[in-house]
Amino acid sequence: MSFREERAAERKMNIIKVAAKLFSEKGYHDATLEDIARNLKYTKGSIYYYINSKQELLFQCHELAMDMLINRMEEILATDWPLEVKLREGIKAHIEMVVGEMSLVTVALGQEFELEEDYRQIIVAKRDRYERYFRRLVDEGIEKGIFRPVPSKMAVFIIMGAINWIPRWYSEKGSMSKEEIAEFFSDYLVRPLFKKD
Amino acid sequence: MSFREERAAERKMNIIKVAAKLFSEKGYHDATLEDIARNLKYTKGSIYYYINSKQELLFQCHELAMDMLINRMEEILATDWPLEVKLREGIKAHIEMVVGEMSLVTVALGQEFELEEDYRQIIVAKRDRYERYFRRLVDEGIEKGIFRPVPSKMAVFIIMGAINWIPRWYSEKGSMSKEEIAEFFSDYLVRPLFKKD
DNA sequence: TTATATTTTGAATTTCGGTGTAAATACTAA
DNA sequence: TTAGTATTTACACCGAAATTCAAAATATAA
pLDDT, tens digit (0-9, with 9 covering 90-100), for B63-85: 999 999 999 999 999 999 999 99
Residue at minimum CA to C1' distance from nucleotide C10: A45
Q: Is B194 helix (H, G, I), strand (E, B) or coil?
A: strand
pLDDT score, position B126: 96
Would the pLDDT of B197 be above 60?
Answer: no
A29 touches strand C (CB under 7 A): no
pLDDT at residue B168 tops 60? yes
- The answer to whether B141 touches B84, Cβ cutoff 8 Å, is yes
Chain A CB contacts of B25 below 8 Å = 113
Helix (H, G, I), strand (E, B) or coil at A71: helix
Mean pLDDT computed over B130-149: 98
Q: DSSP letter string over B37-69?
A: HHHTT--HHHHHHH-S-HHHHHHHHHHHHHHHH
How far is B101 from chain A, CA to nearest CA, in Å?
Answer: 19
A/B interface, count of CB pairs below 8 Å: 86
In the prediction, which pLDDT does B1 show? 63
A95-109, B1-15, B120-134: least confident range: B1-15
pLDDT (tens digit per residue) in B19-55? 999 999 999 999 999 999 999 999 998 999 999 999 9
Share of chain A above pLDDT 90, in %: 87
- CB within 8 Å: A158 and B162: yes
Task: Report d(CA B69, CA B164) in Å as an integer.
Answer: 12
**Whole-number Å distance between alpha carbons of B159 and B156:** 5
A73 in Cβ contact with A93 (< 8 Å): yes
Whether residues B187 and A184 touch (CB distance < 8 A) is answered with no
Residue-level pLDDT at B137:
98
pLDDT of residue A197: 57
Nucleotide nearest to A46 (CA to C1'): C8
pTM exceeding 0.85 = yes
Nearest to A16 by CA among A94, A99, A96, A107: A107
**B154–A176 C-beta distance less than 8 A:** yes
Distance from CA of A192 to the nearest CA of B (A): 6
User: CA A155, CA A117: separation in Å to the nearest integer?
Assistant: 28
Output the average pLDDT for chain B. Answer: 94
Say how many Å lie between the first and final Cα of chain A, rounded: 58
pLDDT for position A112: 87
How confident is the model over A129-167, as pLDDT tens digits?
999 999 999 999 999 999 999 999 999 999 999 999 999
A87 vs A109: CA distance, rounded Å: 20
Burial class (CB in 10 A: 0-12, 13-18, 19+), A131: middle
Residue A7 C-alpha, separation from nearest chain B C-alpha, in angstroms: 35
- Return d(Cα B29, Cα B12) in angstroms, integer: 20
Res A3: pLDDT: 77
Pick from B24, B25, B27, B33: which is nearest to B56 by CA? Answer: B33
Given a contact cutoff of 8 angstroms between Cβ atoms, the answer to whether B87 and B137 are in contact is yes
CA distance A168 to B160: 11
B154–A185: do the CB atoms touch at under 8 Å?
Answer: yes
Residue-wise pLDDT for B94-112, tens only, equals 999 999 988 999 899 888 8
pLDDT of residue A196: 76
Which chain A residues are within 8 Å of B187, Cβ to Cβ? 192
Contact B166/A161, CB-based, under 8 Å? yes
Q: Which residue of chain A has the CA closest to B167? A: A161
Inform me whether the pLDDT recorded for A195 exceeds 90. no
Closest CA to A85 of A140, A30, A29, A48: A140
The per-residue pLDDT for B96 is 95
Residue A162 touches chain B, beta carbons under 8 Å: yes
CA angle B192, B196, B197 (to 5 degrees): 140
Please tell me which of the candidates B112, B113, B188 has its beta carbon nearest to residue A155.
B188
Q: What is the pLDDT at residue B9?
A: 85
Would you call B147 helix, strand, or coil by DSSP? Answer: strand
Q: Given a cut of 60, is residue A184 above it in pLDDT?
A: yes
Summarised one tens digit per residue, pLDDT across range A25-80 is 999 999 999 999 999 999 999 999 999 999 999 999 999 999 999 999 999 999 99
